[in-house]
Chains A and B, each alone.
Chain A
Amino acid sequence: AQTVTQSQPEMSVQEAETVTLSCTYDTSESDYYLFWYKQPPSRQMILVIRQEAYKQQNATENRFSVNFQKAAKSFSLKISDSQLGDAAMYFCAGGSQGNLIFGKGTKLSVKP
């Protein structure tokens, strides 16, 4: 069975600062993919970043980057230069062969 755990129900960051959201996963699959999704109050689910498990290099998308620690089964998301528009629920998800398991989410607040 696959599990995805987000241990931080809520996080807060000052505008322009950096914040890291934690995620751990457990899977018996050798080939899998990990994702971070953002859900603002509009409730859209927006893909933030993607990491293939076979790649050692951490994925980066502009101000968003991941710290993928395969041995520790950790997949954290770092948001640099936080902006007010980054305030949202963030979901970590992982899976293989198309199916994804989602964590419970972390609510991120950004203080001006």
Chain B
Amino acid sequence: DARVTQTPRHKVTEMGQEVTMRCQPILGHNTVFWYRQTMMQGLELLAYFRNRAPLDDSGMPKDRFSAEMPDATLATLKIQPSEPRDSAVYFCASGRTSGGSNQPQHFGDGTRLSIL
């Protein structure tokens, strides 16, 4: 089965350090999403792309977070500088939309980020 691949699975670093999370969407999917999951806030959408163009990043703190899709097989989420409140599980998901049809999102296994 095709899968969304996220790296790393776990990341522990000190506050102030740069963190980069990577995602390889399922081949043929044209939408990519970044979510953050915490106990307090649940699943929050940070950003999403369609055909590699950013459509919505209103959920992302712009001063420290950035999301990009350098090509169709790679999406990145960067945090610089990182803070303890950024500790969470970050999920990438991909899907396919065309002509209004909304296919389900397929999730990666997530990156568990701990900022000390």
Contacts and interface: CB of A to CB of B under 8 A. Distances in A.
Interface of B is mostly: strand
A35 B42 contact: no
Contacts of A55: none
Interface residues of B, number: 23
A31 B45 CA distance: 21
Contacts of A98: 31, 48, 50, 55, 95, 97, 102
B100 A31 contact: yes
A33 B104 CA distance: 9
A96 interface: yes
A91 B43 CA distance: 9
17 contacts: A35-B104, A44-B109, A45-B91, A45-B110, A47-B104, A96-B100, A96-B102, A97-B97, A98-B31, A98-B102, A99-B33, A99-B45, A99-B55, A100-B33, A100-B45, A102-B42, A102-B43
Interface of A: 31-33, 35, 37, 42-47, 50, 91, 95-105
